């Protein structure tokens, strides 16, 4: 491994220089099963990228590696061209500006909608700083603005557990707004939504993606087509194809493993 | 009232403040007055043994409050909180032993009786400084606090949660019990520390000292309650609740789960230590049985019965369960453990929010019965699911 790293060092500099996320040869195995098998791809700053792939292709593991939940066995994961993400934990990575939206909406059900946003709000995260933190006027305004964007203003003081599924999804997207990340990962953001909700969610996402880099993991082909961005197809833990949706849909191997089914 | 003061108590309205103030005054003033100003024959006279018993219950209440901070709010069920209580008690015991001076059985001004008995010729280094009450008071916080910090840091950093955390805390208190049973430890072994004479110059056999200790306990419990209130109503308190309900999600928001839990655990251990330090002069003895795992489990029962995650509930729970214990062990000692066991089962099955939850339920039902009343706010979401 160390030898490898030395050899690859010059390549990092060139390719990683203009990237927000850089994965090279990332391998993760669970009991001999390779969830990620030498996965490599690059996301440019400001880019929106969609990741598709059948179940077990390694999409969730990939996000776990990027957010520090899982340590890769091998490979390089760089953020912003020079920060080695494998050396940091989830909280540190979140504070660097990487936000993650889970497939199943996970909001804090015993807290109110407002309090959920308050916890997500960008700001000092030290234990004592949080203990003494007071909500300043501008922070309150920021939360109110987010509440408006996610259309939950009138539910601000109800507990998040009482929201509908779609509203929980929006609250989670709202928490990402409040967190104000530079790089955003969304895991099936429209799963389980009605058509109307999907439409509204796509609108919200377009808004949040405007000045950020975004990675979307998605199954819904219609939604992917609407996003209209570069697509990376994962299969058995590595990249099978990359390019526009039209291009990957025409790829023989992609049709075989995924789209053809 | 400024926002800080309001948050200090977490009481948003005058009614809440008045209730807390009246309760504290009731316990701190009325009980001693009824004890000291009235003749023993008077129908309202409160005998000294009742005052002492109340003082003991209030120490337990403080201990349950401490457990609620980590269990009810951070979701970490510590089954070793008796250890922090006992350590605070031992620290106070050491001060009280030094106060005996040459009034011990062996008349040795330099060494406590048990050390003379074991043929020790000098005071061990860790007994130094306990002649001073100020030093002791600091140590009451530091000793449990440092143990909680080291233990909690190792456990939380390694992400030990749920039942595993409960088991290792239980093991911690058991290990300490075995250690304190050893004479070589220098804490009186099996017999512990006892035969105390006076505290801060006041003779401990006098009724006025007993009442003084009781008042001190009321005030310290009030202070601990306000401190805990301050924490749980701060943003950190909401982080703790979030940790309880969805620990890994909190990490992805950039909050330090280890830091938040460690803070709650250390503060909780310190409150438990203070409770132990107030308990020992009131019962007159501290021995290794205070570390027994069963004691720590009982604390969890008080907390559950009162209603965890409410701060006020555990205080109520500790007082009412212990009052029931005093009553049952007096009239029918053989049924007490059955009662305790069934109480725990009933609370777990039917009253997830304990006595406090029961009050809330009755209140809502009453309000629903009255058509004129304003609609009740949405009930809190269902009981959290934590592993």
Residues A170 and A159 grouped into a single domain: yes
Residues A124 and A216 both lie in one domain: yes
Q: Is the Cβ pair B384, A110 closer than 8 Å?
A: yes
Chain A residues lying within 8 Å of B246, measured CB to CB = 106, 108
The whole-angstrom separation of Cα B356 and Cα B315 is 11
Supply the pLDDT for residue B363: 84
Which residue range(s) make up the domain with A19? 1-96+229-241+251-261
Q: CA angle, corner B197, sides to B194 and B201, nearest 5?
A: 135
Q: What percent of chain B has pLDDT over 70?
A: 92
Sequence-ordered alpha helix ranges (H) in B69-105: 81-100
Q: What is the full DSSP assignment across B273-330? A: HHHHHHHHHHHSEE-GGGG-HHHHHHHHHHHHHH-TTSSHHHHHHHHHHHHHHHHHHH
**Residue at token pair 């501290």:** B286
Residue A246 resides in a domain? no
Confidence band of B381 (pLDDT split at 50, 70, 90): very low
In a domain, A125, yes or no: yes
Q: CB pairs under 8 A, 24+ apart, for B179-188? A: B180/B86, B180/B90, B180/B287, B180/B288, B180/B291, B181/B288, B183/B114, B183/B118, B186/B115, B186/B120, B186/B124, B186/B126, B186/B127, B187/B90, B187/B93, B187/B94, B188/B112, B188/B114, B188/B287
Asked if residue A138 belongs to a domain, the reply is yes
Q: Does A58 fall in a domain?
A: yes
Of A106, A108, A127, the CB nearest to B241: A108
pLDDT computed for residue B269 by the predictor = 98
pLDDT at B1: 37
What mean pLDDT do residues B159-170 have? 96
Tell whether A91 and A199 lie within a shared domain.
Answer: no
Instruction: Assign residue A178 the CATH number of its domain.
Output: 3.40.50.300
- Do A80 and A102 belong together in one domain? no
Contacts of B251 in chain A (CB under 8 A): 89-91, 94
Q: Determine the average pLDDT of the residues in B320-337.
A: 91
> Measuring CA to CA, which residue among A69, A58, A51 is closest to residue A26?
A58
pLDDT in tens, A55-68: 888 999 999 999 99
d(CA B274, CA B224): 9
Q: Averaged over A41-62, what is the pLDDT?
A: 90
State how many domains chain A has: 2
A105 and A127 in a common domain: yes
A136 and A197 part of one domain = yes
Q: How far apart are CA A16 and CA A51, in angstroms?
A: 20
Nearest to B256 among A91, A110, A134 (CB): A91
Whether A3 and A105 share a structural domain: no
Reference A159, options B384, B351, B195; nearest CA is B384
Ordered by start, the domain boundaries in chain B are 3-298
Contacts of B263 in chain A (CB under 8 A): 127-128, 131
Is the domain of A113 the same as that of A27?
A: no
Kindly report the average pLDDT of chain B as a whole number: 90
Same domain? A52 vs A115: no
- Give the model confidence (pLDDT) of B101-145 as tens digits: 999 999 898 999 999 999 999 999 999 999 999 999 999 999 999
B245 contact partners, CB below 8 Å, separation of at least 6: A108, A109, A110, B75, B384, B385, B386
A206 and A233 housed in the same domain: no
Cα–Cα distance between A149 and A141 in angstroms, integer? 12
Report ipTM for this prediction: 0.86
CB contact under 8 A, B254 and A106: no
> B1-34: per-residue pLDDT in tens?
344 444 544 455 677 778 888 888 888 888 998 9
Q: Are residues A234 and A195 in the same domain?
A: no
A57 shares its domain with A107: no
Question: Is the separation of the CB atoms in A70 and A236 below 8 Å?
Answer: no
pLDDT exceeds cutoff 80 at B374: no
């Amino acid at each position: 491994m160390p030898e490898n790293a030395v050899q690859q060092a010059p390549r990092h500099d060139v390719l990683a220089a203009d990237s927000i996320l850089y994965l090279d040869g990332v391998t993760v195995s669970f009991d001999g099963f390779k969830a990620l098998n030498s996965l490599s791809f690059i996301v440019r700053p400001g880019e929106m990228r969609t990741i598709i792939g059948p179940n077990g292709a390694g999409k969730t593991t990939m996000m776990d590696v990027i957010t520090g939940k899982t340590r890769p066995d091998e490979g390089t994961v760089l953020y912003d061209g020079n920060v080695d993400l494998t050396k940091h934990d989830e909280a540190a990575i979140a504070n660097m500006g990487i936000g993650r939206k889970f497939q199943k909406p996970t909001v804090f059900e015993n807290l109110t909608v407002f309090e959920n946003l308050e916890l997500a709000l960008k700001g000092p995260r030290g234990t004592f700083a949080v203990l003494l933190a007071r909500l300043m006027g501008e922070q309150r305004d920021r939360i109110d603005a987010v509440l408006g964007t996610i259309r939950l203003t009138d539910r601000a003081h109800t507990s998040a557990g009482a929201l509908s599924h779609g509203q929980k999804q929006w609250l989670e997207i709202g928490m990402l707004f409040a967190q104000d990340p530079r790089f955003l990962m969304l895991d099936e953001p429209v799963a389980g939504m009605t058509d109307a909700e999907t439409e509204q969610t796509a609108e919200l996402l377009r808004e949040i993606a405007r000045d950020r880099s975004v990675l979307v993991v998605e199954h819904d082909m219609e939604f992917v087509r609407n996003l209209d961005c570069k697509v990376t197809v994962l299969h058995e833990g590595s990249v099978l194809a990359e390019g526009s949706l039209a291009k990957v849909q025409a790829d023989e191997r992609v049709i075989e493993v995924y789209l053809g089914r | 009232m400024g926002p800080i003061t309001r948050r200090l108590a977490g009481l948003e309205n005058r009614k809440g403040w008045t209730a807390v103030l009246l309760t504290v005054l009731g316990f701190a003033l009325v009980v001693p007055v009824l004890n000291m100003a009235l003749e023993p024959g008077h129908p309202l006279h409160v005998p000294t043994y009742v005052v002492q018993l109340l003082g003991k219950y209030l120490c337990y209440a403080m201990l349950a409050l401490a457990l609620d901070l980590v269990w009810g709010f951070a979701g970490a069920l510590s089954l070793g909180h008796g250890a922090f209580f006992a350590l605070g008690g031992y620290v106070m015991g050491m001060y009280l032993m030094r106060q005996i001076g040459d009034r011990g059985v062996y008349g040795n001004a330099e060494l406590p009786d048990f050390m003379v008995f074991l043929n020790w010729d000098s005071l061990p280094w860790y007994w130094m400084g306990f002649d001073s009450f100020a030093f002791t008071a600091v140590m009451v916080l530091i000793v449990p606090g440092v143990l909680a910090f080291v233990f909690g840091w190792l456990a939380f950093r390694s992400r030990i949660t749920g039942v595993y955390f409960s088991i290792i805390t239980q093991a911690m208190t058991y290990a300490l019990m075995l250690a304190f049973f050893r004479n070589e430890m220098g804490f009186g072994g099996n017999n512990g520390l006892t035969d105390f004479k006076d505290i801060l110059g006041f003779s401990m056999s006098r009724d006025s000292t007993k009442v003084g200790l009781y008042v001190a306990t009321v005030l310290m419990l009030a202070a601990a309650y306000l401190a805990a209130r301050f924490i749980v109503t701060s943003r950190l308190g909401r982080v703790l609740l979030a940790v309880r309900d969805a620990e890994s999600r909190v990490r992805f928001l950039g909050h330090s789960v280890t830091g938040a839990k460690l803070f709650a655990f250390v503060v909780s251990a310190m409150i438990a230590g203070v409770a132990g330090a107030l308990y020992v002069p009131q019962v007159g003895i501290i021995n290794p049985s205070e570390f027994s795992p069963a004691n720590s489990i009982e604390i969890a029962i008080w907390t559950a019965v009162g209603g965890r995650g409410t701060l006020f509930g555990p205080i109520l729970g500790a007082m009412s369960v212990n009052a029931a214990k005093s009553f049952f062990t007096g009239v029918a000692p053989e049924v007490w453990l059955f009662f305790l066991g069934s109480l725990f089962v009933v609370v777990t099955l039917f009253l997830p929010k304990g006595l406090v939850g029961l009050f809330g339920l009755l209140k809502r039902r009453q309000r629903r019965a009255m058509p004129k009343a304003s609609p009740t706010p949405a009930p809190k979401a269902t009981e959290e699911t934590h592993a």
